[in-house]
Amino acid sequence: MDKKGISSTTALPLFVLTLLTASLIGVSAVPISPYIMIVPEKTLDPTLTPGNTYIVSIYTDYTGSDIWSWQFELTFNPAVLQGVTVTNGDLITTIKDPSAVFVSGTFDNTLGQLSLTYAFFDYSTPPAPTTSGPGTLAYVEFTVIGYGSTDLTLVEESGPKLMDPVVPIIDGYMDPDNIGHGYFKNKLTGDADGDGTVNVFDILKVKYHWYPGPPAGAGGYDRDVDCDDDGSINVFDILIVKANWGDSV
């Protein structure tokens, strides 16, 4: 046997197997039930070009019959999305009880924020009106204005909450694992550097941000470089770049 080491024909499958194993690390998961989350959790769609409308719902899977109120705040990248309107969902409505109150927050399209948005059943004497889940808290409408990506974040510090008449059922500040954020990307598939063209610079970007185990001096995981959005940056992302070589906006 050659003592210089494993032959190249043996090493290549081992290398690919290692990368395949690594690619399974760090994939996002649905938050712990019961939860409040953004639906869809992830949008990867290069056809959503500037001028298009993009709508998400704020949803809970909670099945109890003791829901009295809810609230949330939201942040986004204002270079990619601009907030337009917020409308009430089907969870707390006047159809369920005439006392229902819905208050839409306001968009700051400079900072990328939707202020506190909430709904509740108004009452003066117990018992408080309540309703059952699961259901949609609200719908948030955006206009796409840019090319790139953005996290859609339910602000945990201000407490996305689902309440019974006394205490929180879900409290994002106390239980962040019960909150599910969103992600939007309209970059071309394979456009790792976001310049509107798939070419050699995207391969270089993928190599620089290789993760897990980036080279010394390189950055860690960068979701914008993760072409297949599987939680890892590796050979499969380079293959995606090659498969879409030459595409441009």
Higher pLDDT, 207 or 96: 96
Structural domain ending residue among the three candidates 185, 206, 231: 185
Asked if residue 21 belongs to a domain, the reply is no
Give the pLDDT confidence of 2-60 residue by residue, as tens digits: 333 333 333 333 333 333 333 333 345 689 999 999 999 999 999 999 999 999 999 99
Please give the model's pTM, rounded to 2 decimal places.
0.80
Contact 172, 138 (CB under 8 A): no
Contact 10, 32 (CB under 8 A): no
Task: Give the residue numbers spanning the domain of 220.
Answer: 189-249
Give the pLDDT confidence of 107-134 residue by residue, as tens digits: 999 999 999 999 999 999 999 999 999 9
Q: Note whether 60 and 165 are same-domain residues.
A: yes
Mean pLDDT, the chain, as a whole number?
Answer: 86
Question: CA-to-CA distance for 111 and 102, rounded, in angstroms?
Answer: 24
CATH number, position 64: 2.60.40.680
Where on the phi/psi map is residue 158: left (φ > 0), alpha (ψ -120 to 50), or beta? alpha
Residues paired with residue 140 on neighbouring β-strands, in sequence order:
56, 86
DSSP type of residue 9: H
